[in-house]
Amino acid sequence: MRFVPIWQRHFLVWRKMAATSILGHLADPLIYMLGLGFGLGSMLPQMGGTSYLVFLSAGTVCYSTMNSASFEALYSCFARMHEQRTWDAILNTPVTLDDIVLSEVVWATSKSLMSGLAVLAVIWLMGLSHSALSLWLIPLSLLVGVCFSALGLIMTALAPSYSFFMYYFTLVITPTILLSGVFFPVTQLPPSLQIVSAILPLSHAVDIARPLMNGIVPPSLLLHIAVLLGYTVFGFYVSLVLFRKRLSR
């Protein structure tokens, strides 16, 4: 439990700028969701028995959670490790590097949960989902958050500078959003890209979220959870090895 005081530290920093942070959680995903939902939605037929806006809302919860986890695990974590040397200060106390890495995962997950909750709150307020099953999107946000936090830390452990993160966002995150069924069904993609989609963690998250939003228990639920957990364990393990190597210099 030695990661708890570090989590408290991050929370105290967050509390000082909570207003801007919450705005950030809400503004970007909502602009996309409502803009595309109403704009494109008015020209589109129903999708899978729901309006385009409802279709989009499930994907928005997943990708905004992913974005939030990724930003925290890359930019903010890198600032603490490299620029502010917060990690160096903490390492001089009876806290180990493993505790710090764990605290970063838990904190980035906490932030992404806030992001997921913010979007979900708007969805419920707008009456886009009436099913009690949609409550399961809260633990799902947690799972998506921990998964992309752990994966993002691999990049942070490798990064020489902030500009390095551009590769990850441009070459990994953006294609992931487009290939994971956030904005349109994966079945619209050519078969070769559908195979790529099937291995991306976000598409498994969307496959859980969308049925739940419509009050249906997702098919192959355990498989999707297992994939997300698998990526989490992989990300955490690899980043830990890389951080140990990086900080032992």
Partner 1 sequence: MKLLAIRLSWQKTPAKSLVMWQTAFYKMMSTVIHAQNLQKSYAGVRVVDGLNLDIQRGECYGLLGPNGAGKTTTLRLLLGLIEPDSGELSLLNHAVPHQAREARVRVGVVPQMDNLDPDFTVAENLLVYGRYFGMQDAEIEARLPMLLEFANLTHKRDAKIPTLSGGMKRRLTLARALVNDPDVIFLDEPTTGLDPQARHLIWQRLRELTAQGKTLLLTTHFMDEAERLCHRLAILDQGRMIAQASPQALIAQHIEPQVVEVFGERVAEWAQQQAAQFSQRFEVSGETAFCYVADAQPLLTHLHGHQALRYLHRPANLEDVFLKLTGREMRE
Q: Which residues bind partner 1 (CB under 8 A)?
A: 2, 5-6, 8-9, 12-13, 16, 84-86, 88-96, 247-249
Taking alpha carbons only, the member of 222, 82, 63 closest to residue 158 is 82
CB of 89 to partner 1, least distance (A): 4
In order of 176, 180, 183, 186, the CA distances from 172 in angstroms are 6, 12, 17, 17
* Longest Cα separation, the chain: 60
Minimum gap (Å) between residue 9 Cβ and partner 1? 5
Least distance (Å) between residue 101 CB and partner 1:
15
| Pick 6 or 209: Cβ nearer partner 1 | 6
Picking from 193, 196, 204, the residue whose alpha carbon sits closest to that of residue 231 is 204
Q: Which is nearer to partner 1, 33 or 101 (CB)?
A: 101
* Closer Cβ to partner 1, 49 or 94, answer by number: 94
The alpha helices in 43-136, defined as continuous H runs, are 52-71, 77-78, 86-91, 97-125
For residues 206 and 65, the answer to whether their CB atoms sit within 8 Å is no
Minimum gap (Å) between residue 119 Cβ and partner 1: 26
Classify burial at 9, counting beta carbons within 10 Å of its beta carbon; exposed 0-12, middle 13-18, buried 19 or more.
Answer: middle
Smaller CB distance to partner 1: residue 6 or 128?
A: 6
Measured distance CA(131)–CA(178) in Å, rounded: 27
**Whole-number Å distance between alpha carbons of 237 and 150:** 8
Give the shortest CB-79-to-partner 1 separation in angstroms: 10
CB-nearer residue toward partner 1: 55 or 87 = 87
